[in-house]
Structure 1
Amino acid sequence: MLNDRRVAFLVAPEGAEQVELTEPWKAVEEAGGRPSLVSTGKDPVQAFNHLDKADTFAVDRVAADCSADDFDALVLPGGVANPDFLRTDEGAVRFAKSFFQQGKPVAVICHGPWTLIEAGVLTGRQITSWPSLKTDIRNAGGEWVDAEVVVCEGEAGTLVSSRKPDDLPAFCRTLVEVFSRA
């Protein structure tokens, strides 16, 4: 169980795939963790069901104002627009990178690895993602694997990754297991 562990969910103001945010959030809560929504600004974030607008969610913290010191683990939901925006925001990239610098666990799904590519933290790591990121991950020094869920342990912490919404049951189960050990 997560025993009150603080888990940051980093999302852009618009474009996060709703189910890739809400299902892991629910898993963290059900395991006794404390999820917190972190974004690049204070305004509510707009989630999507693929290309259609879905719900909005209140932001708890701004990425530029916090670091891994404030949390025990990080989740990076996907959606195409979400990580594409995050990777251009210096505060968001610095925030994501701080988890690797402190050896704290990170879970990422779908297009989410774009933020990690920008943070320069994939060298020598095995990771999966939406298939269109395969070349980007390889160019960033990572080893792309086509699997439902991949767990890569290293000096810079444990990285949990999955490809797509269909992988969410395995992704959620695995991130809770990994975050519980941290």
Structure 2
Amino acid sequence: MADSLEGKSVAIFLAPMGTEEVEFTDPKEAVEDAGASVDVVGAETGDVETVNGDINPGGSYEVERTFSEVSVEDYDGLVVPGGCVGADQLRADDDAVGFVHDFFETEKPLCVICHGPWTLVEADVVDGRTLTSFHSLETDIRNAGGEWVDEEVVVDEGLVTSRNPDDLDAFCDKVVEEIEEGPHEDRETEDV
């Protein structure tokens, strides 16, 4: 995987609080190790605290660019980590949801783990897709028209999803693989 993403640029979301630390750090490290440049994108620039297991304090990480400062055209891939509180904040942020929707429309790899698929539901891009997530989102995904499956990692035409931190090895491998492959021009998108 070394240098397989050389010249590629990836955005990774970081919520104002409550992002699950390893779901942020592991994918970020994986794409950086593969040669990609990474921008940490959030609602406001500055340092934010992550969590471990949703309730224990994690480390502090810097949001480098805001949703309003970036464009989907700037990136070859997008990663949305989970964490119950963090994902809930992201799905309530119109700019974050708009970015996810617009990124999905580009047909470039969109990689989401754990509670992160809440942003997919809110962005109205789940209908007709097969995906996985933290088990408590199953009903939300089905109600949005998606097919929820209980699998380690699911890839549906460049949409990469995983259930929880236990799936990070498989998730990170697929993130790198899909970003290396590039856009899925056969992905059918619906205008909303």
For residues 62-101 of structure 1, the aligned pairs below 5 Å read 62-101=66-105
For residues 1-182 of structure 1, the aligned pairs below 5 Å read 1-50=4-53, 51-153=55-157, 158-182=158-182
Structure 2 runs not aligned, ≥5 long: 183-192
CA-CA distance at 1:58 after TM superposition: 0.9
C-alpha distance in structure 2 between counterparts of 1:152 and 1:101, whole Å: 14
> Contact between 2:14 and 2:63, CA under 8 Å: does it hold in 1?
no
- When normalised by structure 2's length, the TM-score is 0.91
Name the SS of the counterpart of 1:44 in structure 2.
strand
Summarize deviations over 1:49-77 as a string: whole Å, max 9, x none: 11111111111110122221111110000
> Contact between 2:67 and 2:96, CA under 8 Å: does it hold in 1?
yes
Worse-matched range after superposition: 60-69 or 132-141 = 60-69
C-alpha distance in structure 2 between counterparts of 1:139 and 1:133, whole Å: 10
Name the SS of the counterpart of 1:146 in structure 2.
coil
C-alpha distance in structure 2 between counterparts of 1:58 and 1:93, whole Å: 20
Amino acid at match of 1:11: L
- When normalised by structure 1's length, the TM-score is 0.95
Structure 1 runs not aligned, ≥5 long: none
Amino acid at match of 2:33: E
Alignment identity in percent?
A: 49
Summarize deviations over 1:84-132 as a string: whole Å, max 9, x none: 0011111111111111111111000000000111000111000000000
C-alpha distance in structure 2 between counterparts of 1:126 and 1:64, whole Å: 30
Q: How many residues align?
A: 178
